Structure 1
Amino acid sequence: MDMPVTILVICRPKAEFHLIGRLLAQVHHTDYQVIWLNRLDDGLEAMVRGNCDVVLLDYHWNNGSAMQAVRTARSRGCTLPIVVMTDDVESEVDRTAIAAGASDYLIKGHIDSRLLERTLRYAMERNASEKKLAQLAHFDPLANIPNRILFRDRLEHAVELSRREGIPFALLYLDLDGFKEINDRCGHDAGDEVIRQCARRLKECIRKSDSVARIGGDEFTILLEHTNDPGHIAHVAQKVIDTLSQPMSVGADEVSVGVSIGIAVYPEAGDDAQSLQKHADTAMYQAKQIAGSAYCFYTADVGEPHPHSLQESELRQALRGNQLEARYRRRLDAASGRLIELGLELCWHHPERGELGGEHCRDVAQQAGLTAELNNWSLQQGLQDLAQLQKAGWKQLCLMVPVTAAQLTEPNMRERLQRLLVEHGVRGESLGLEMTEADLAEHRQAVLSPMVELVQLGCHFSLAEFGCGSASLGLLQRLPVTSVRIAEPLLVDAGQTEAGRRLLEGLVQFAHHLGKAVVAGGYCDQEQYQSLCQLGCDLVNAADEPEPLTPSIIKGGPGATSVTAVAYPAHGS
């Protein structure tokens, strides 16, 4: 027999509680323990405490809203699966229950023991999977510390806590000095080991109440809670410098890195997450102007004159000039090995700082409010490149371009895109538009109509970073999304652990059940390619690319006038 399962039933009539108990008593392979509460406010507190496995909640209350209780419980950290019970099939329940955070709903007059047990079991299993997905999606697999997504959540939480309760905190932005040289001299494996050792050392520098995250490349952040004391903050920053500056053994080599630290203290350096990030970043670049490792507090004097504060104007100049370049990741059909799709990424050739990746472009664009302009440039350039490739013989090639909700909801988006397609002679069926799961989930109501309009042009939509946990599973059914790109942390974990492999296999099967194609992002070797094929992925990134490819390299590749571009033998051949 399985472990006992505790069910919290929140309803007014005691007869309904007894009915649930009798139905579950007919299930012999699981020991169900049922707890009853007949007040909604008591039920809310019990959901927040979380001392059960699943909640059965009555939808109808005379003196309160069940959906408001669900939303409040979720906002207070409740992660339990919640199944709503209603008297009849109601569109309002279908529309509002899942949106509020419920896992599923049952119609009271149609509940039998098999349906009840299956619904509860499915809600618990899906909840466990979502928690695992969230864990993988919010932690950096290389450094084993929180990633950019979780860092942003914690920063926003710290801001809200400070506004509500006056609890001070400080944000530290860290950038390693000399890391690129180690990567170039000793190889990427050595660089990975440096990142791991730096992450371990950073955790040793902070208290349990503080947190450290890797936000990409060689950049880290630290949140120091319950302090705005400059002396204490400076002490931590110097401790970080001293600790990271110690030599590291990497294979047969001994290497050293420096670190530049920018510090933003709430609320002096900003009273919202975006301002704090921007100002800590500005202070970090000021610290880089000092010889050797250093830290710098953000002040108004630091903010204005420093070149980094000109990044908005620099990006505007890059958009007008010839500094941006579109690059492409090749995606192969897993069944045949044929090249059928290109994923567009950006490279910024900065006149002073050299080559900057697409992630840097997006960060600056987000801070400057230029995300739509950047994506519009990508769309224009991508269609131009795709038209050239199709004329060169790649007739069936598709292009996947990132878009945002803000871009989709711009006035006349449909007309502008239609004009671009006609101008470049590209069919709408050749264009894919990719949104992140978080962006789509946050703006699902606003983007539905624009998405439908663009689908009418022949375009198709893909959901990026699938598995991050920010979108409800029902979202895939309601929006016109034809494919999902698995979040890379899940792919990494699948290659390292059996549990990760089973989780990825279940996610692929779930997407296929909803009729969605599955794209595996990230680069992989031949063994990983075969493994992803066996798991059922439909598209896999080509593995012979050390970095994204330019259109000229693709056209100069094998069979430039043919669609076929086999990186590995087709799966099963």
Structure 2
Amino acid sequence: MLGTFGTYLPRPQAPDAAARLLLDKAADLAALAVERHQSRRTLRLLERSVEGSINGVVIADASRPDVPIIYVNPAFVRMTGYAKEEVLGRNCRFLQGAETDPAAAASIRQQLARGEEVHVTLLNYRKDGTPFWNDLYVAPVRDAQGSITHYVGMQNDVSAQKTYESRLAHHASHDALTGLANRSLFEDRLEHDVALAIRRQERLAVLFVDLDDFKPINDTLGHAVGDDVLREVARRLQASVRPGDTLARMGGDEFVLLMTDIIREEQVLTLVERLMLEIARPYLIDGHELYLTCSIGIALSDPAMTEPRELIQQADMAMYKAKQQGRNAYHWHTGEITEQLGERVRLRNDLQEAIVSGRMELHYQPLIAGDGTLAGVEALLRWPHPERGYVSPEVFIPLAESTGQIMPLSRWVLERACADMVALGQQGVGRVKVSVNLSPLQFHRPSFLANLRQVLQQTGLPAEQLELELTEGILMDNTESAIDILHALRGMHIDVSIDDFGTGYSSLSYLRHLPISKVKIDRSFIHEVTTNPHDAAIVQGMISMAGHLGLRVVAEGVETEAQQRQLEAWGCDLFQGYLLAKPMPLEALSRFIIARGGVA
């Protein structure tokens, strides 16, 4: 109901047919006038809404050739920089440019041709030539017969959002410190390039670059200087590689490079040598002149390769071989390296399983005095492998030291040795003094002395029955701290001996200042002491000087009676070796001691 309409008749009566027809026509005219008035109000409201919208609105005439624009709102003008007069009559594609995605533009044309609504984000250009990302909606307008008469488009400038998304994507695939590709992006490109190289029957190479001794820079000058060095390293590496190659930072001081189109190995070597020279140039950072070298591992692709990331692992393995060569070197990956490292991983896993499951053993080798009495025992760690048999300590001890497994092993050895000696005393065998070898990691731990006191307290072993064996290298590293620990051990009444003496860098004149009680001459000098005059002179000098310094001397690896007689003649105090007794389990040691009449 729009309203009411009334009319007056000349006299009271019901309107006749002619009057009613006139009344209906008059009502229709009045209703039409009211409806048109309301439509104009609605149109004005819609117009003000479109004019005030923050989104650009554009209307194009679908019935005319080239679908010209017939209306744009002020937001469109502000967004594009074009005045209304410059836009009307033109097709909307004038906003497109060189970087506009052709696929997005084609999608608009195809969907509109099918009479469908369109939603697409594409790159458009303002009047001044600057690009902006246009989030565009286009809808067709149909007449009463269903024919498309116009297209209405609404556009929104989403450049800020696109910039943010682009920044996020960049951070997800690039290293924040150097701006280089990160591991994820490198692996994506590696997978793509390996597949391409296989199809083209080409080769590619992966170079793993690790800076030598970079950690001291961070430790002494701070991470800010270290970060500046890494950025400069990245810049030098990037400047040295070819445009088509991919350089990435893997983390820390490690970089990796993907070289494609390798025809000759000399191409790789030429680049490797250039990289090493670039890295070795001095760095002027924050007033400091710094010098670095690098070690590089090289791995070449194989047509039979199924997992491209293996190239990274292979180059990494080769890099560690270069480190072992003395650093500032490069090394090619070989199948032998893979086998060696594979064996190392298997051995490490087996060792961890043996530690966790308690399958390690402790054997004891007696130290015999000149009169044949037992002066003590050395605790020796043994690993009975279920498939390999007993694994040599020369194999698994260095492995454990490099992996950190030496710490739980060292703790177990100390606890077990102390507990076993207490058990011997409780069995009436006697008070047997046991010497335990210490690892450098164990000795230099801040908690070493506290842990040692805890073990002695828990096991009940008197400190006088424990002796600790150190290598010369332990004392050479952090000398002041080492001397403090030695004095603390003496205060606890624990003896200390120097193991494998003569193989390190120390001297007896240095050792005379240390609170130690014994030196153990390494078996390498004893082996030919009766046949090699040079070894004989060295051993005799060691024994003589140790005696003058009040140190007792233990000869390791005594295997013949001639060796023992010679050593006794020179004044050696104690003997250890297969001639006198092999390492043995605790039960066998108990029988050995009882059979020899007890402890000296």
TM-score normalised per structure 1 = 0.46
Provide TM-score, normalisation by structure 2: 0.44
Structure with greater contact order relative to length (CA < 8 Å, sep ≥ 6): 1
Q: Which has the larger radius of gyration?
A: 2
